[in-house]
């Protein structure tokens, strides 16, 4: 993992791409999630026994994109899980949560 590669490839880059697809394709799996996304970015904090996935999503519309952000984070986490499970049979996904929301109707 130090060199960002395992037998299946570059874990973090694969997870970043998958997470971006997850953000953009949220409405394919959650029917009422339809706001157009103007910006999406994923970052990873690699710790000794964890990888923290952070997703930032923006739109110019007066609606929230927190579901899109959490969907992208979950797809990235599933990708990390899938790529690392041959190496660590005890791997888990611990939680997905909203950290901060700005804008939209409720702000």
Catalytic residues, by residue number, are 82
DSSP strands (E only) in the chain = 39-47, 50-58
Burial class (CB in 10 A: 0-12, 13-18, 19+), 60: exposed
40 strand-pairing partners: 57
């Amino acid at each position: 993992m130090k060199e960002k590669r395992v037998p299946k490839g570059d874990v973090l880059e694969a997870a970043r791409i998958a997470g971006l697809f997850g953000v953009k394709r949220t409405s394919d799996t959650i029917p009422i999630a339809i706001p157009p996304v103007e910006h999406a970015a994923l970052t990873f904090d690699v710790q000794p026994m964890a990888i923290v996935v952070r997703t930032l999503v923006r739109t110019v519309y007066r609606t929230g994109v927190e579901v899109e952000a959490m969907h992208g984070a979950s797809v990235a986490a599933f990708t990390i899980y899938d790529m690392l499970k041959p190496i660590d049979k005890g791997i888990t996904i611990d939680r997905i949560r909203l950290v901060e929301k700005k804008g939209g109707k409720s702000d």
